[in-house]
Chain A
Amino acid sequence: MAVRELTFRIMRYNPDEPEKKPHLQDFHLTEEPGMSLFVVLNKLREEQDPTLRFDFVCRASICGSCGMLVNGKPTLACKTLTKDLPPVTTLLPLPVFKLLGDLSVDTGVWFRDMSLRTESWIHTDETFVPDAPEVRMDNELALKIYEAERCIECGCCIGGCATANIKSDFIGAAGVNRVARFMVDPRDKRTEREYFDVVGTEDGVFGCIGLMACDDNCPVGVPLRDQLAYVRRKMAVAGWHYQKV
């Protein structure tokens, strides 16, 4: 197979040099076997431009650091292989999040804010008794909680969401999924009403216009569409109940 020369068209912007407007810069390198965008971007930084900014941590699609737009699609750079890319690839930072420079965005701050707003912790008055055996849980339930907890906070569902792009307080699919995670967990003693106060607003489930790019873009396959449906269904049932009472 012929060795390919690849072009990467990368958005450049350094907030410390505001006089230079955001622009695209072309980089060229020779493709190698098994090459991922993790390898590509590090090579470009070390061999061509040491100021190039991007984020990786685990480089194994576990930590959620490297979400970016690869030819327009939000995905994790670490698991994107060059053999699946055309000769010219455009790399842009994820929208919605604050831009720190080039491809680096502040997803951490966004997710922390969302976690605080949805009060993403177990609400209980029970205290831990060190010598007591653990409270039993059916394994099916444990798996159900884990399914929602698998979200890695990469922001691909947010970057590709039409609502999140125009509505800065929208908690997005990640936020709805987070609420669903706690709703199924019997250790969390919040009432349905308390969950709905958080999620039953224009910034919660009612902000969603149903395009479902989030479900398509999730790089770890969290069933975001199902979670959204789950929360809406619970609300519909509860709403009917409240009206009766």
Chain B
Amino acid sequence: MKKIINSPQDVVPEMVDGLVRSYPEYLKQIPETEAVVRSDQASMKGKVGLVSGGGSGHEPTHAGFVGKGMLSAAVCGQVFTSPTPDQIYAAIKAVNQGKGVFLVIKNYSGDVMNFEMARDMAEMDGIAVKEIIVDDDIAVENSLYTQGKRGVAGTVLMHKLLGAAADQGASLDELETLAKKALPHISTIAVALSAATVPEVGKPGFELADDEIEYGVGIHSEPGYRREKIKPSKELVAELLSKIDEVQHLDATHQYALLINGMGATPLMEQYIFSHDVLNKLAEKNITPVFTKVGNYMTSIDMAGISLTIFELAEQKWLEYLNYPVATVAW
């Protein structure tokens, strides 16, 4: 393992400290925690608080999306490990303005349990809390026999949507309605070229041969649905887009937002080539996305690979939310 770190157990505290001290105009750390809140406290006045978080290793998610117009706070757990309820609760308390707090949770058993324990603690203190559990990864089927679909890059679009709505004064109930309506329209699928190495583990989460790729891998090296030899970008795009098409039935009469997300070790050069192929493939269906983002938004430490998220903008308002100005480190 070759990483720019001091020691594996200090990765999270040192990363959070470095991030917050580099960007004091956006972020402030809650003392004794690895949770960060907006420095622009005035922008939260009278509004519903928006809190997300999860295991670290997905930077800039989630702390990079804290700021006016997006998240109010983010809680950074250990690498690939959900943060604990006391820390999540500290974040909820820090952003509560009496209008309630909305939680954005990725669908992993640990995240769901820890956030819900924090919600119970907050409710005992009279803070109204509601939540959305994001499960945009279509690589796994929803099934009684698994944890269900995973929360991946589409979570960032959920942050953007809810953050804009909250900033414009949406109530806790309105945020819940918006989140539930938008979620089924967000679909993500990834392809991995190599696995991530968790610092405390010291070796990659799985092995792929030099010429091999795996479709459908999760953001913590969860297994995908098929392995094969590496192919040209346009063929990778064809595979991933066909999977999304099965779920979304892409159609030129609809409006779409596109998020192309690098997994950590894939250069922007390759991400732009992938974008070129996605846009070409969509053009064959006469679809031109009305909103596009390309870059590292929901990474998996040093995994090489890319994910494709398509968000069908079923309501015009959603495009306005995506374009709404924010002041964050990473949007």
Are A and B physically bound partners? no
Chain B interface residues (CB < 8 Å from chain A) = none
Which A positions have Cβ atoms within 8 angstroms of B? none
